[in-house]
Structure 1
Amino acid sequence: MIKKMMMIVVMICMTGFFAYAQASDRQGITLKGRVQVEGSGEDVAFATITLQDDSAKVITKLASDESGRFNLTLNKAGKYTLLLSAVGFSLTQKDIDVEEGLSAKDLGVIEMKEGVELKEVTVSAQRPLIKSDPDKLVYSIESDPDAKTNSLLEMIRKVPLLSVDAEDNVTLNGQSNYKVLVNGKSSSLMSNNFKEVIKSMPANSVKDIEVITNPSSKYEAEGVGGIINIITAKNTNNGYTGSVGANADTRGGYGANAYISANINKFSFSTNVYMNKFRQPETENFSKTEFPANDERRYSDTYGRGKYHGMGNSLNFEAGYEIDTFNLISASAWGYFGNYKSDNYSSSEDRNVQGTPVERFTNAYHSENGYGYLSGNIDYQKSFMKKDKMLTASYKLDYNPDNSNYDNRVNGEINYASYGQKSDNKSSGQTHTFQLDYFDPLTDKHQIETGVKAIYRRNFSETDILRSDSAFADWYEDIDRINDLDYDQYIMGVYAGYLFKYKKTSTKVGARGEYTWNDGVSKARTNIEFDNSFFNFIPYVNFSYSFKPTQSIKASYTQRLYRPSIWSLNPYVNDADPKNVSYGNPELDEEIAHTFNLTYSNFSQKFNLNFSLNAAITDNSIERYSFVEDGVRYTTYDNIGSNQRYGVNLYASYRPNGKVNIYLNGRYNYTIIEADKRLNRRNEGSNAGGNIGARFVFWKGGSVSVNGGGSTPWQMLQGKQSGYYYTQFGVSQKFLKDKMDVGCYISDPFWRKIHYKMDMDDPTFITHSESYRMGQTVRFSVTWRFGKMNTQVKKARRGITNDDQREGGGSGGAQGGGGGGQ
């Protein structure tokens, strides 16, 4: 089946190539010109160029480049009208008479008059994929044609500074310690299930992805790597609009999505709903461990296999009511509920120094996990006569249940007692956030902002554990293993920022003060109370210089901190795998990173370039580490050392026209990890990786895309993680006057199984492990758009942004002990 699909895709690509080559032989009439400001001769960058025929029918629409130049191709001679529009200029009209027999016509300089600012300019051709602001980089998902048929995970591979590894984990600047926001608001769901959500989420439901490597003082200081802000799609004109879509793959996964938006007088709303079912075929893994100081248990071998499947469902709703010109009330809600089930089998054998087996057992393990997230907020925005001056008051409520259970049956074969163990964990978290923000653009050169925030988080986890003997018949409650958790966190924060603009330079400075106190108790036979408090003062400095509107350089410094999450604090002992036990550390302290960034950006309609140097230096870093006792590996967390990371990132893309788009996204990092406490260990090394891709429009309404990437191995405190690689090929076609998109994609067609390795070492153990996952997946998708354009949902321009907790990597070591809210 896979080979047949590959042949079909290759044949389509070849057919499209020859069709494209033949079309290239047919010459049209080229029009070119340059747009400048009347009287000054300055170029007008990104002016919208609209060409109409003598019946006022729009023939084509495009944007000028950064130097005001444009060129377009006509199929025939005749009389045409050229319309030029840009923000801050009057609409300019020029009549053109194209004579027969011409192959090209130079329109020369066309001048536009300043003084009349258009309320809205629509650029429907060649909209830039990337925009660089002083404190963030924005990738326009809605401007990328691949977004109509791809998942959000597949699109994230293209975003500068972001990478996706072989297990679909996302890193920012090479780090997994970052924050994820949705429309500027935090999501506890993203903290623990980020990759599952973005695999389920259709890319056409997202407008932009903002990457903030050095967040300003208005953001919480949490997240060493920075912030990923996902802006969901909205529409901007009168009427209504909507879309429906569906997808399926050869692994048995499928999904569907729907979107609708409308405007009724002063009331506007939009809603987006989607569901996705996913399946992971059986994977395999094995590991070999040597314990140099233990002759009785010198060697330990483990083999395992497993598979999982699950489903995710989401609903997003936004509404706004404009009381009058200066008062706006907006509300939004977002819910996501999902589950997954896994079945695993493993066998373990320990041998002495002579190679004789001294212990052997097998473990059949079944787990189920149901998780969810429900968030709602309401914002009141007060505007003033002065443009952009505003006061915003916000309240946000988050609730996230997380229930899990597992059932494992251990069968002893040599010197190991058989037993069964069941665990049922129920946990949830609630977060209440109150926030007040004030922004005032004092003059064209001076801006100030300030605000206060209060957060209260309530988390709990309850676990029931049953044990049985070798017959798996009589089950009893194992009180010694029960661990319940109550955890409260309080945060008070205040921030202030100042922006100064002068000609081509801008300087932004700010500071944030945060006071945090935690109060928790781990309930077992003996209760373990853990409480701490700390105050952090976080400075922020950002300097930028614009050589021209599309070319700039910026430098920034700030501090980022990581407050230990409930996953790393919870002392619950997860021993579902008897040979690999994990638990949290309630005595963890926060870590602080000093982050530096220097970035050069040059973005235009055809060529985009972003080059950055970055560094993060962390003392008292929280590291996950392992140690061995009696042949069992224990994994936990501690503030055991320092972490230094120095990196280079490069993003480049080239779009000579609407038919070709080529991009490169690469990175290089050098990491130094030192553990002074407990381990007295140092590890350092480099890591390079990235991805490259291209999209070609070979025929009308059709396109072919090719993507691939990978990474070299990267360093951990106690070893090295394997690199990864991937490839993807796709074909898409538009139907029904471009209202329907149909796509077919093949992932990793050249590898039935993809191989990974990991090496870990310590004075007490040396481990080599390998794993395999299935490749060769074919996915189909279809999307249909309907309706008229609508008014964008009006909502407060500032609202609550809870970004004070670690996101992006999934849960940590104390899995199964109850996540709760974060």
Structure 2
Amino acid sequence: MKTYIILILVFLSTAAIAAPAQVTGNKADSLSLKFTGKVIDSVTKEPLIYAQVVINAGQKLVMQALTDTMGRFEASLKEGTYQVKVFYMGNENQVFNLVIAANSDHAVNRVFNVKIKTELLNEVSVYAKRKIIENTAEKIVYHVDRDPMAKNKSLSEVIKKVPLITVDFKGVPSLKGSEKVQVQVNGRSVTDYAIPVDQALKMIPTANVESVEVITSPGAASDGESLAGIINIITKNKLSLGGNLTVGVESTIGKSYNTKPTLNFTYGVGKVNFSLNGSYTNFKTLGFSNQLYSRNNFLQAQGGDLGYNGNPVYVNSGLFYQINKNQSLNAGLTAANSPYTFNQNLQTNINDQGTVNIFNRFSDNSVKATSLSTNLDYKFKFDKPGKEFNVGALFTTGKQNNLNNSINNYVSGTGSPMLQELSSNNNTIRTVIIQSDYKLPIGKHKLQAGIKLTNRHFDSKYQNAVSNQLAASSATADEYAYNQGVYAAFGQFQLMLPKKWTMIGGARYERTQNDARFISTNSSVNQGFNSFLPTYVIGKNLKNGMISLTYSYKISRPGISYLNPFQNFVNANTVAQGNPDLLPEHKNGLTLAFSHNAGKAYLYVDASADFWSDYILRVNQFVNNINQITYKNIGSYRQFGTSANLNLSITKALGLTVGGTLNLISTSDAAFNATYNEKLNFNASFIGTYNFKGGYNLQAEYYLYSNNYFFQSKTQLPNTSSIGLNKSFMKDRINLSVGVINPLNNKIAYDMLNINGGLTNQNIQTVYGRGLSFGFSYQFGNDKVNKKSKTNIKDNDTKEGSTNPIGF
């Protein structure tokens, strides 16, 4: 509680410090006049959006600003003579003389007519060929909006192009083979929106995504709980003038299918911009399941059909208000409804010490998850470039109901003719997050500091009934209330050194408090721990690239299912029980990265070493022929790896991107009881593109995966492929794409094998993966907005990389 109070005081003091600075930055003395300028095209008389305006008094810079969506800007000026320079999209600076005389109402207006060279507009509206995948010292960036083949595809499909990421058939992503990756949208974890990760990737419209970032060594500004790294989805956030509506559909047709209509609407006027986007997804995945479970003299084998289907709905709205040239507000509302079902129809054969039972088993697991989130963010940009203060809040409420129905019909043996198991798990969640940060340039250097307060509350009710016994007893019911508070503060400093060297040092402190009350077992957990998480970067910007060395220290907190002491009888032979004394896992990570741009070839390569400790291991013990499962912090291991990405522009029309990762996991810890140790895991991707005359784009993709070893387990992922053709019509108003997913193999299999002492468990899930893909989108409304956005090329676009690849 003391820590919580201290962090609140820090938060209030930070705001108090920033507030006087805000007044100082905007305060005009008694002789200042409010000046409002408007920049327009001298021919069409239309406002020029994002024109750069610089006002000088002689040799002294008075202010600089960008025009808003109405072409306007504001300034506080004294009486005198000024020079106003206007720069717009590659045109030469145009200079206007401005005389401010005494005015009783303290307000002056002026319209600036700018001559636009139409030949320049035509030139910049033609895109230079820009890289789809780029790498910096801290992250890999996949530019979704630069990839014509990403249009009209689901997000779970397109992120497979990003190096280090793999996605299973349910849409769950992994980074470097680990699912302990934090998936974010605009820097906020999707779990804070109470949306399952796989459903989020299905629901978010790809047309609304600008880029996907992969951060393998997150800095101090990122949450400490990003053990395997971060996948950050950046959505488009461009101001509009007038109204724009884009409707589309993404569809895959086959035995497994997916159809998703999407909508994206924006409307802007003056300083206000409104956006609305959403999707409805109808998907179904069909396939087969084969499972094997053996120990001592017990063998269970089962096989049959599986199905995975759902129809999630996603709606997101946003309201942006530019208060003045320094201040802005951004509000958002996100609603999601994601019902889905996973079912299996299997025949089961059990041989228990010579006694054989055969029965048909049908299981149906249905999930209904709903959530509603709202956020409000305030930003103040000081007149000094790079100096800003941000504060934001997020509130989420959600509900998830799980119902698992399993029916066993015995064909032969000594078992009951029919046995039904029915279990339900109803959860509610509430999340409140308040955070702020402050950025301060100090000469060429940069300082950043901030705090984040997070509170999560869970309520859960679990019931299990056998043979239609609907009245649950204490032995088959579990109920708990769980509160988790994470109170964090961070600071980092970027030091610019001679000869283009850069150093970044940062640290993050997190206080975690877990308080749980388990009603069924009449027990509780009150657990608190502190984490100090340093990060360091040293690097150099080369003439055509960069080199850097990064160190980070991260944690992973145990979830409530690992802490819950309730004994869950999974089946007649297995019981699982959590461990309330678990502590977080820890990882020390070191990464050396290098990139080089040779014009037609761009190369990125890195090498990493990760050292994990207090790893949470699942421990199996056999007591009276019952498999008892629990969890303990007893594992430590090392992971060494390298990844590379090569972009080649072979000709003006032909391009090739080749990427891959290779890593080795090793341990000398006997607690792992490692069946597979010091095994190599690798994957590779090959993406070829060809741009035909007439605007047709052809792309072929192939993804290769080895067995993924992790001590007691071996997972074999399927190789996947796709080929597609894309074309835009009517000045990009219409976009059409067709293709084939997995043309080389109709069925794709995921083979998961776990060997732990005398226990062997294998699960092979094979799904129909081949299908015809189709996509279509049409844009209504004011295309002048998009035209202006496209011609407003940023530095990082023209340089084909970050303007400061090492730094923040």
**TM-score of Structure 1 vs Structure 2, range by shorter chain:** 0.7 to 0.9
1:662 equivalent to 2:661? Answer no
**Could you tell me which residue of structure 1 aligns to residue 431 of structure 2?**
431
CA distance in 1, matches of 2:210, 2:376: 22
**Could you tell me which residue of structure 2 aligns to residue 734 of structure 1?**
728
Q: Deviations over 1:182-218 (max 9, x none)?
A: 0111221788732232134332220011121111111
**Could you tell me which residue of structure 1 aligns to residue 320 of structure 2?**
320
Cα gap change, 1:740 to 1:410, in 2 (>3 Å): same
**Could you tell me which residue of structure 2 aligns to residue 797 of structure 1?**
none
**Could you tell me which residue of structure 2 aligns to residue 462 of structure 1?**
461
Q: CA deviation at 1:410?
A: 2.5
1:202 equivalent to 2:201? Answer no
Q: CA deviation at 1:682?
A: 7.2
1:286 equivalent to 2:291? Answer yes
Q: CA deviation at 1:552?
A: 0.5
Aligned residues: 670
Q: CA deviation at 1:466?
A: 3.0
Cα gap change, 1:581 to 1:609, in 2 (>3 Å): farther
1:595 equivalent to 2:594? Answer no
**Could you tell me which residue of structure 2 aligns to residue 809 of structure 1?**
none
- Counterpart pick for 2:779 among 785, 789, 792: 785
CA contact (8 A) 1:125 1:658 kept: no
Q: CA deviation at 1:613?
A: 0.6
CA distance in 2, matches of 1:191, 1:687: 33
CA distance in 2, matches of 1:352, 1:227: 45
**Could you tell me which residue of structure 1 aligns to residue 267 of structure 2?**
262
1:407 equivalent to 2:405? Answer yes
Cα gap change, 1:553 to 1:697, in 2 (>3 Å): same
Cα gap change, 1:191 to 1:540, in 2 (>3 Å): farther
CA distance in 2, matches of 1:239, 1:580: 62
Q: CA deviation at 1:306?
A: 1.7
Aligned residue type for 1:684: E
The secondary structure found in structure 1 opposite 2:582 is coil
1:332 equivalent to 2:332? Answer yes
CA distance in 1, matches of 2:476, 2:638: 38
1:221 equivalent to 2:224? Answer yes
Task: Between 196-205 and 574-583, report the one with greater CA deviation.
Answer: 574-583
Aligned residue type for 1:300: Q
CA contact (8 A) 1:266 1:322 kept: yes
CA distance in 2, matches of 1:785, 1:719: 49
Q: Deviations over 1:562-605 (max 9, x none)?
A: 01123433345555655665554333210110001111122476
**Could you tell me which residue of structure 2 aligns to residue 765 of structure 1?**
759
Gapped regions of structure 1 (runs ≥ 5): 1-84, 94-117, 794-822
Q: CA deviation at 1:237?
A: 5.6
The secondary structure found in structure 2 opposite 1:683 is coil
CA distance in 2, matches of 1:581, 1:694: 50
CA distance in 1, matches of 2:628, 2:751: 20
**Could you tell me which residue of structure 2 aligns to residue 710 of structure 1?**
704
Residues 124-135 of structure 1: pairs in structure 2 closer than 5 A: 124-135=127-138
**Could you tell me which residue of structure 2 aligns to residue 451 of structure 1?**
450
CA distance in 1, matches of 2:200, 2:590: 31
What fraction of aligned residue pairs are identical, expressed as a percent? 24
Q: CA deviation at 1:634?
A: 5.2
Q: CA deviation at 1:790?
A: 4.0
CA distance in 2, matches of 1:219, 1:547: 27
1:311 equivalent to 2:306? Answer no
Cα gap change, 1:467 to 1:624, in 2 (>3 Å): same
- Counterpart pick for 2:637 among 627, 643, 648: 643
The secondary structure found in structure 2 opposite 1:770 is strand
1:152 equivalent to 2:155? Answer yes
Q: CA deviation at 1:488?
A: 0.4
Cα gap change, 1:326 to 1:202, in 2 (>3 Å): closer
CA distance in 2, matches of 1:336, 1:679: 42
1:344 equivalent to 2:315? Answer no
Q: Deviations over 1:295-340 (max 9, x none)?
A: xx34332334321210111112221212222222221222222111
Q: CA deviation at 1:378?
A: 0.9
1:185 equivalent to 2:188? Answer yes
The secondary structure found in structure 1 opposite 2:430 is strand
CA distance in 2, matches of 1:554, 1:334: 38
CA contact (8 A) 2:193 2:371 kept: no
CA distance in 2, matches of 1:608, 1:780: 32
Q: Deviations over 1:63-97 (max 9, x none)?
A: xxxxxxxxxxxxxxxxxxxxxx999987499xxxx
CA distance in 1, matches of 2:540, 2:414: 70
**Could you tell me which residue of structure 2 aligns to residue 440 of structure 1?**
440
CA contact (8 A) 2:357 2:415 kept: yes
Cα gap change, 1:352 to 1:600, in 2 (>3 Å): same
CA contact (8 A) 2:407 2:421 kept: yes
Task: Between 490-499 and 753-762, report the one with greater CA deviation.
Answer: 753-762
CA distance in 2, matches of 1:191, 1:686: 36
1:241 equivalent to 2:244? Answer yes
CA distance in 2, matches of 1:452, 1:372: 29
1:687 equivalent to 2:685? Answer no
Q: CA deviation at 1:635?
A: 4.8
Gapped regions of structure 2 (runs ≥ 5): 1-85, 95-120, 790-808
The secondary structure found in structure 1 opposite 2:177 is coil
The secondary structure found in structure 2 opposite 1:225 is coil
Cα gap change, 1:760 to 1:440, in 2 (>3 Å): same
- Counterpart pick for 1:397 among 376, 395, 401: 395
CA contact (8 A) 1:625 1:718 kept: no
CA distance in 2, matches of 1:659, 1:203: 25
Cα gap change, 1:369 to 1:768, in 2 (>3 Å): closer
Residues 243-642 of structure 1: pairs in structure 2 closer than 5 A: 243-248=246-251, 249-250=253-254, 251-287=256-292, 289=294, 291-292=295-296, 297-351=297-351, 356-412=354-410, 413-417=412-416, 418-443=418-443, 445-468=444-467, 472=468, 475-502=470-497, 503-524=499-520, 526-548=521-543, 550-571=544-565, 575=569, 582-603=576-597, 606-624=600-618, 626=620, 635-642=629-636
**Could you tell me which residue of structure 2 aligns to residue 38 of structure 1?**
none
When the two structures are superposed, what TM-score results if normalisation uses the length of structure 2? 0.77
The secondary structure found in structure 1 opposite 2:395 is strand
Q: CA deviation at 1:459?
A: 0.8
Cα gap change, 1:331 to 1:606, in 2 (>3 Å): farther
Cα gap change, 1:262 to 1:352, in 2 (>3 Å): closer
CA contact (8 A) 1:188 1:373 kept: no
Q: Deviations over 1:685-733 (max 9, x none)?
A: 1111122121222342322221111211111232322232111122223
Task: Between 134-143 and 660-669, report the one with greater CA deviation.
Answer: 134-143
Aligned residue type for 1:601: S
Q: CA deviation at 1:645?
A: 0.9
CA contact (8 A) 1:126 1:605 kept: no
Residues 67-86 of structure 1: pairs in structure 2 closer than 5 A: none
Higher RCO (C-alpha under 8 Å, 6+ residues apart)? 1
